[in-house]
Structures are given as structure tokens and as C-alpha cells.
Structure 1
Amino acid sequence: MALLKRSLSLHGHRTSLALEAEFWEIVDQCTGVENRSLASLIAEIDDSRDPEDPLSSAVRVWALNRVRSGNL
């Protein structure tokens, strides 16, 4: 599976995040439903993750949990 990279500002710093298209689809659905920016959602995930875990992994787990809970 190919990774798709997106750039965003996270806590005042430019960064990029690479995820598979299927995960980006879930992230995009949630930002649309919640009427929020990609940066604000990723910042929330970043703030709640274990510092030892890569951000991309934290976003994947967050997306999986959203699908499992039916909160799309």
C-alpha cells in the first residue's frame, strides 16, 4: 500500500504525516462531520498519544477506534 503524505502545522511547526489512503479517508470524514480542521484533529491526537509512539501510528489507532465505535 502506498503512503500519502500531507503537510500541516502542528503546534506552530510545519510537519508532514504519511498514512495509507484508507486512513486518510477516515480522518477526512471525521473532520467533515465535526467541521474542524485537519491540524486541530491531528493536534488532539498528538496531545493524547504516548510520546514513545510515532504520530502516524497514533493516527492509525485513533482511526481504527473511530471505525470500531461507529463514530464516523
Structure 2
Amino acid sequence: MIVKRSVAISGHATSISVEDRFWDELRRIAGRRDLPIAAMIADIDAARDPATNLSSAIRLFVLDDALAHRAGD
């Protein structure tokens, strides 16, 4: 299920819409890196291609992390 969530990044509120599984995994990644979820999202936002919306960038970030960890197995 896609859920719209509000977060504050770089001092302004924004909303993102991602599926629960992506959100849960993003929270796990943030925890593993000892970062607040908002800081993780701010990092993703800063690194994304301007042509890619933030929700898609989050999904791609989570996918890239999963693939990187799978390759290490």
C-alpha cells in the first residue's frame, strides 16, 4: 500500500508517497547508519537527479542498498 508521509528536510516540509515495504526498509537502513530518517531522506534528496522525483529516488536508493548487500552474500 502506498502511503503519503510528511517529512521536514533542509528546513522545509515535503511529502513523499512510498509503499510501506520501502518505508520500512528505509528506516532499517537509517538505523543501520545511525541516522534519523529525515537526515537519510535529505541525503537522498541532495544526491538525486533533478529529473527524478523524491519518492522514486527513495525507492531506487532502497533497491540499490538491497542489491549491494545481496552481492556481498
TM-score, normalised to structure 1, is 0.89
Q: 1:16-55 alignment to 2 at 5 Å? A: 16-55=15-54
Q: Does 1:3 align with 2:32?
A: no
RMSD between superposed Cα atoms in Å = 1.3
Give distance in 2, aligned partners of 1:33 and 1:45.
16
Where does the alignment leave 5 or more consecutive residues of structure 2 unmatched?
Answer: none
Query: What are the Cα deviations for residues 16-50 of structure 1, in whole angstroms up to 9, with x where unaligned?
Result: 11100110111010111111111110110011111
The alignment covers a number of residue pairs equal to 70
Give distance in 2, aligned partners of 1:64 and 1:44.
16
Where does the alignment leave 5 or more consecutive residues of structure 1 unmatched?
Answer: none
Q: What amino acid is aligned across from residue 52 of structure 2 in structure 1? A: D
